[in-house]
Amino acid sequence: MRKNIYTFLAVAFAAGLLAGCGSKDSGKDTTIVVGASPAPHAEILEAAKPVLEKAGYTLEIKEYNDYVQPNVALDAGDLDANYFQHQPYLDEFNAEKKTELASAAVIHYEPFGIYAGKTASLEELADGAQIAVPNDTTNEARALLLLEAQGLIGLKEGAGLTATKQDIVDNPRNFDIIEMEAAQLPRSLQDVDLAVINGNYAIAAGLKVADALVCEDSESIGATTYGNVVAVQKGHENDEKIKALVDALKSGEVKKFIEETYEGAVVPLS
């Protein structure tokens, strides 16, 4: 009887070891939690889900409607990554909030556009017209550079990517430059003459590149600087699941989805 008991315990112990090994393997973290703005980022992530599933990962998407909380959540460890911003904005956020977030990859570029509000064209723009721009530093600079490229205003030499309303040194037609939250710009079109709108917020509002009076061209600072990135906590750029996420977003399937869905409003950079 004692021998049988010892045999049973030995078998049970061995089974426990095997179960432990199995649970360790099956306990591998295969869920990737990513924060994103609803359009186009969350939509692009949805298109990446089947690609990730084939690679053995489950993608969980958390949507945010502002530019601050996705980085706050990432810094707190509530997200594995986020996908909504370009590098200059990420750099600015890190500097202001003392965070250490990093880019794991550049995925796409969204042309910035000038959209008609109460005034239907640039030619019809009256002296003193109201022009709305984003109020966060990097996006405001991008908007002002686009207005400058159209000859509507002139900026202080060297202002570049840090330009703000205070850097306007040439405004002979006395345009009223109104700074507001980027997400509010599409909804404010009816109240201003023109608005310079971020690509993702234009898409979310049902605006198309074809609707814009003018967009950044391929040689502009926007095209060369403002690629949208997958951001992670510093040191996690090469994590296995982050690599899988990046590979999925750069895959042929997702590239095709972007090109067919957004018709130039989103341009893949992979």
Angle between helices 69-76 and 87-97 (to 10 degrees): 60
Does 184 share its domain with 236? no
Q: Which residues are CB-contacts of 24 (< 8 A; sequence separation ≥ 6)?
A: none
What's the pLDDT score for residue 270? 67
Distances (CA, A) of 81 to 35, 74, 230: 7, 6, 7
Three-state DSSP class for 131? strand
Segments forming the whole domain that contains residue 235: 31-110+226-268
Count: domains in the chain: 2
CATH number of the structural domain spanning residue 162: 3.40.190.10
Sign (positive or negative) of CA dihedral 38, 44, 50, 51: negative
121 within some domain = yes
* Co-location of 120 and 216 in the same domain: yes
In a domain, 84, yes or no: yes
In a domain, 178, yes or no: yes
Q: What is the pLDDT of residue 226?
A: 86
Counting as low any pLDDT under 70, the low residues of the chain are 1-27, 218, 223, 270
150 and 205 inside one domain: yes
pLDDT of residue 220: 77
Q: For the whole prediction, is pTM greater than 0.75?
A: no
Domain-embedded: residue 18: no
Q: Residue 213 has which token pair?
A: 């009076």
Distance CA 12, CA 59 (A): 37
Q: Let me know whether 230 and 218 are in one domain.
A: no
Q: Which positions ≥6 away from 218 have C-beta within 8 Å?
A: none
> 199 and 255: one domain?
no
Which helix (H) or strand (E) covers residue 240, if one does? helix 240-249
Considering the domain boundaries, does residue 248 fall inside one? yes
